[in-house]
Amino acid sequence: MKKTTALYIVVIFLFITSLVCNIYFYLKYITVREQCNNFSETKDFNEKVIFFNKIFVEKVLIKSEQVSYEDRIKLENAVIATQDEELINQWHSFLNSKTEAEAQEQTKQLLWLFATKIIY
């Protein structure tokens, strides 16, 4: 009788230990999965900001002639794709510049935003 009681206690102890371990590892799994999702979202955002930065420098700063309509559409679509209100507002401030000096200041602000928006 004592052997079977001891056996039951050992089996119950192992079952409870196994259950606790499974719950612990499941909670760890959920945490790691959330971190991976956050990393993926951050990576996507960074790619969009870098793409907008790249075409802004390429089509606006480096080019000596006026920006074409197609390039303006590309730039507008790229900034909207970031879904970042601050970048979008700064882009529109740049577009609404009345003088060259104002456009240069807005360009500086936009370049500063590119640098600060990238999440690492």
What are the tens digits of pLDDT across the range 26-56? 999 999 999 988 888 889 999 999 999 999 9
Q: What's the whole-number average pLDDT of the chain?
A: 91
Predicted local distance difference test score (pLDDT) of residue 105 = 93
Q: What percent of the chain has pLDDT over 90?
A: 71
Q: Could you give the C-alpha distances from 23 to 16, 19, 76, in angstroms and in order?
A: 11, 6, 48
Contact (CB, 8 A) for 82 and 88: yes
